[in-house]
Structure 1
Amino acid sequence: MSKFDPLHVQCAVKQQYQPVFTGTNQPRLLYVSNIRPQTSMYPRMLHAHADAVELALMYSGSGKFFIHDRYVPVSAGDLLIYNSGVIHDEISSADNPIGMYCITLSGLHMPGLRPNALLADDRNCVISCGEHFESVRFLFELMFKQLSSDYPNASVFCHNMMEALLVQALTLAADAPQKPIGKSKRLELALDVKQYLDAHYTEPITLTDIGQHLHVSHYYLCHVFKDLMGYAPMKYLLRRRLGEAQTLLISTDTTIAKIAESVGFDTQSYFNFQFAKNVGMPPSQYRKNYLVRAFD
C-alpha cells in the first residue's frame, strides 16, 4: 500500500445533537443492583415505586412476572421498564433462576408524560433488546461495577451511563407494540378489587369489606379475582404487604417493628413468621443479604 492510499478509518457524525434531559427533566440515579441467579429463589414480591422509575435487564433465566394487571412472560434479553406506581411481582423458580440488573431513578419529566414515567402507560413495558442486548448489558454491568468498587467519581460516571441507558431504552421502545386493550366485565371487577387492595393494603381488610365497597358478593369477587390474577384477594394482600416491606428493608434503616406496622401487620412476630414463610428467610437476614448500591 502506498503512502497516499486512503485508510478509511475515520467517521464523521453530521447529525445535529438534540439533548434529551434538559430543563426540569433531570433524572437522578438512586441505586444500582444485581440480582444474581443463586439469590433469585427468594422472591421479590408485589411492590411499586411511588416516585421512581425502575429499569431491569434480564440477563439469564425466564419466568412470568405479574405487572400491573396481568402476567407477562419474560426471558433473558428482555428490558423491563416500570413507571412510577406500577406494581410488579418478580417470580423465579429453583429450576430456572433469573439473573437481573436493576437501576432506579427519580426526577424524570419526559415531555407529555406524567412525572417519573419513561413511557406512556399504555405502552408495552417488556421490550426485547434483540441484537442490542450486549450493549445494554454492558451499560448495566459497568454501572454496577463502578459503584460497587467505589471507583473515584463513580457517581458522575454512572449518572452519564444512566442517561445513555435511558436513551437506549427509548430507542428500543419506539417500535415495541402497545399493550392489548379491551376489558371484560370480569376483568373490570378484578381490577376494581386490586385497586381497593392497593389503596388500603396498610389497613385491616376483609373480603366482606371489599364486597360491601364494590356492592358484590365477596364469594363471587374472590372467585373472579383468583381466576384472573392468580391469587386469592387475601393472598394478594399478603404479598403486597410483604413486597413493600422488602423495599423498606433494603432501602431504609427503619426498624423491623416499624416496617411491620407500616405495611399493615398487627404484630412483628406475625410479620416475621409470614416473611420467613413466603420469602425464605427472616426479614433481618434479608436486609443483611440484599446487596444494593445506593447514591448519596
Structure 2
Amino acid sequence: MSPVGGSKSPALIRDNQVCFEIIREGAVYGKNHGDSKLYGEGSVFWHGSGEITVSESPSDGYYSCLVAYFEYDPGVMAEPWPSYFQWDDRLVMHRFADEMLYAYHSAALRRSVVGNLLWARLQFQLERYRQSLDREVVHPKLQLAIDFINLHYAEPISLDDVAQSADLSVSHLHMLFREHMKESPRQFLIQKRMRSAGHALVTSREPIKVIASQFGYANTENFCRAFRKFFGRSASEYRSAYIGGLNS
C-alpha cells in the first residue's frame, strides 16, 4: 500500500521485462504525464521495458495494488497490451488477487505456475473489457459516496454520513449500490476495512486490538467476528499463514 499522496518514487521496468499493476484500493493518477484522471479499484496498467510504474495519488489519498513482473527472452518482442484496461468485476478481482498472493507466498507452488495463471487471467479480463467498452458510466453521486468511503473507511462512519456526503437519502444510496456495485454500501465499507486490516496484520506486529481500532472497530470481538466471516479464518490464523509463508 502506498503512503498518502502516492509512492515516494516510481519503479523503472528493466529490459526484457513487462509489468502489470492491478489497483486494489484507493485511486491513482494515470501513467501518462499530465493525466489528471483518477483510476480506482480494478484498474489494470501495463508497462513495457523502460517505462515507469504509476505512483501518484491525490495529496489526501492513497492506493494499493498487486504488482506482477514477467520476463521474456532477449530478442523476442513482448506481447502488445493496452496501457490500461479495467477489470470488470471488482469483487472477483479481489478474490483472485487474494488467491494469487496466497499461492505465491504460502502455498509452495512454483512461481511459473502462478505466473501462467495470472497471465491467462489478465488476457481473459482484457477480452471482457474490450467487449464491454460501451458499459454504463458510474452514477456521479455514487462516485461521491465511494470516494467518501475510500477516504474515511478507517473512521467510525455511518451510512447516514456516506449518504450525506453524496446528497442522497440512505434508501437511494442503497439502491445505487445494489444497481451498480451489486452489493450494499455496508458490504462495500466492510470489505474496505477488512482488506486494509488484513494488510496491516501481515505487514506489522501491532496487536489485533490495536488494528481493530485503527479500522473503525472500538470492540475487538466485533472486529474478529467480522474478520472471520469475511476471510473464513481468524485474524491470528490469517497473520500466521501469511507471515509463515513469507518467512519460509
Task: Please say if 1:194 is aligned against 2:137.
Answer: no
Structure 1 segments, 4+ long, off by >6 Å, are: 116-121
Gap runs ≥5 in structure 2: 1-11, 29-39, 56-64, 69-80, 89-99
- In the comparison of the two structures, how many residue pairs are matched? 180
Structure 2 CA distance, aligned partners of 1:286 and 1:21?
Answer: 34
Aligned to 2:85: 123
Aligned to 1:282: 234
Gap runs ≥5 in structure 1: 1-18, 28-46, 52-66, 70-80, 84-107, 127-136, 148-157
Structure 2 CA distance, aligned partners of 1:120 and 1:291?
Answer: 35
Structure 2 CA distance, aligned partners of 1:253 and 1:109?
Answer: 36
Task: Please say if 1:261 is aligned against 2:238.
Answer: no
CA contact (8 A) 2:156 2:216 kept: yes
- Greater RCO, 1 or 2 (C-alpha within 8 Å, sep 6+): 1
After superposition, residues 32-47 of structure 1 pair within 5 angstroms as: none
Structure 2 CA distance, aligned partners of 1:109 and 1:216?
Answer: 46
Larger Rg: 1
1:82 Cα shift? 5.7
Instruction: Give the 3 Å change call, closer, same or farther, for CA 20–231 of structure 1 in structure 2.
Output: closer
Q: CA RMSD in A?
A: 4.8
1:182 Cα shift? 5.2
Structure 2 CA distance, aligned partners of 1:262 and 1:219?
Answer: 28
1:122 Cα shift? 3.6
Matching residue's letter, 1:48: E
SS state of the match for residue 123, structure 1? strand
1:280 Cα shift? 2.9
Instruction: Give the 3 Å change call, closer, same or farther, for CA 264–248 of structure 1 in structure 2.
Output: same
After superposition, residues 131-142 of structure 1 pair within 5 angstroms as: none
Matching residue's letter, 2:85: R
Instruction: Give the 3 Å change call, closer, same or farther, for CA 125–247 of structure 1 in structure 2.
Output: same
Task: Please say if 1:68 is aligned against 2:16.
Answer: no
Paired residue for 2:164, among 174, 198, 212?
212
Cα deviation digits, residues 25-56 of structure 1 (max 9, x gap): 999xxxxxxxxxxxxxxxxxxx63999xxxxx
Aligned to 1:48: 25
Cα deviation digits, residues 229-286 of structure 1 (max 9, x gap): 1221112111211121112222332211121112221122221222233333321122
Aligned to 1:21: 14
Matching residue's letter, 2:217: F
Matching residue's letter, 2:145: V
Greater displacement, 273-282 / 262-271: 273-282
Instruction: Give the 3 Å change call, closer, same or farther, for CA 281–244 of structure 1 in structure 2.
Output: same
Aligned to 1:114: 54
